[in-house]
Structure 1
């Protein structure tokens, strides 16, 4: 379970990113965070694994006060939380399986890290993760030979290999075409349902968020202005989340999708 209690986040330049956030996310939920660019969506999910620290309040993840973790405890905590980025963060000049095996590096003794030697069990686990996202046949292909959608699935497999309880996804389909976006979202949904892994996703594509997520959190100017089932989201609620700019935002999203 993830719990935000009175959380504020203010950056050094004085910008307030989050204001009085109070949320509870249960294990196994699929949550989409929506709102205008700069509303605080990325900050919200990045506070969960301490990429960003908070200014005020408390974040509890499975009874652990995240803000009190230091050093090795932060690294150990992050092993339980997978992070997917828009940019994939892959090493493109090496093979798919090598990119997935990177997830095991923190567990290796120093001599294995230096030699780049992984155990048989780790290699099997990496292949199983690739199988779960449907690209086992690409295991020994160089990443730079894959499409954008395939690369995002490699990033997802790398995250699965570390056996996370939670997956945080920061605009995971922003650079993908509509067809590929749905393939990747199908993977997220399958993993969420079959493995009971919580998925918290920051996403611009509202229609896709409503289709795939069980719950929508709407952020406007750092505040939660909607939190409820995706089935309850109306055009009026979207207008409120987007500060009366929903129609313009929708047109921009559609234009971006057509361009991709």
Structure 2
């Protein structure tokens, strides 16, 4: 379980990215985080794995105050959390398999790290992860020969290989065309249901968020202005989240998608 208790995040320049965040997310939930650019969506999810640290309140994961973890404790904690980025964060000049195996580097002995030698068990787990996202046949192909959607699936397989309890995704479909985006979202949904992994996605595509997420968190100017089931998101709710600019925002996203 993830729980924000009166959490705040203020950057060194004085910008208050999050304020008075009170939020509980149970294991196995599929949560979509929506709002305008700069609303605090990315900051919210990046606090969960301590890419950003809160500056006030508490952030608990399974009843542990993660802000108090240090050094090896932080690294061990992060092993439980997968992070997917818009930019994929892959090494494009090497194979799909090697990119997935990177998830095991923290578990390797010094010599194995030095020479890049993985165990048979780790190689099997990497192949199984690729199979779960439907690209097992691409295992020994260079990443730069794959489409954007396939590269995002490699990133997802790399995350699955570490056997996470939670997957955080920061705009995972922003650079994908609409058809490929839905294929990737199908992967997230299937993994969420079949493996009981909590999935928290920061997403600009409102319709996609409402279709795939069971729960929507609306963020505006660093505050949560809506938290509830997707089915209860009305036009009035969207107007509250987007400050009456939801149609303008949708139009800008459609224009962006047309150039992908």
**Counterpart secondary structure, 2:243:** coil
How many angstroms apart in 1 are the aligned matches of 2:258 and 2:219? 26
Aligned residue-pair number: 260
How many angstroms apart in 2 are the aligned matches of 1:124 and 1:70? 32
How many angstroms apart in 1 are the aligned matches of 2:237 and 2:2? 25
User: 1:223-260 deviations in whole A, cap 9, x for unaligned?
Assistant: 00000000000111101100111111011111111221
Displacement of 1:146: 0.2
User: 1:111-169 deviations in whole A, cap 9, x for unaligned?
Assistant: 00001000000000000000000000000000000000000000000000000000000
How many angstroms apart in 2 are the aligned matches of 1:125 and 1:184? 21
Displacement of 1:193: 0.1
**Counterpart secondary structure, 1:33:** strand
How many angstroms apart in 1 are the aligned matches of 2:53 and 2:228? 26
Q: How does 1:29-178 map to 2 (within 5 A)?
A: 29-178=29-178
1:241 match: 241
How many angstroms apart in 2 are the aligned matches of 1:105 and 1:121? 13
1:216 aligns with 2:216: yes
1:226 match: 226
Taking structure 1 as the reference length, the TM-score comes to 1.00
1:256 match: 256
How many angstroms apart in 2 are the aligned matches of 1:55 and 1:240? 26
How many angstroms apart in 2 are the aligned matches of 1:94 and 1:251? 38
How many angstroms apart in 1 are the aligned matches of 2:243 and 2:48? 26
What do you get for the CA RMSD once the two structures are aligned?
A: 0.4
**Counterpart secondary structure, 1:182:** helix
How many angstroms apart in 2 are the aligned matches of 1:257 and 1:210? 18
How many angstroms apart in 1 are the aligned matches of 2:253 and 2:143? 28
How many angstroms apart in 2 are the aligned matches of 1:37 and 1:184? 22
Displacement of 1:18: 0.2
Q: Which runs of 5+ in 1 are unaligned?
A: none
Moved over 6 A (4+): none
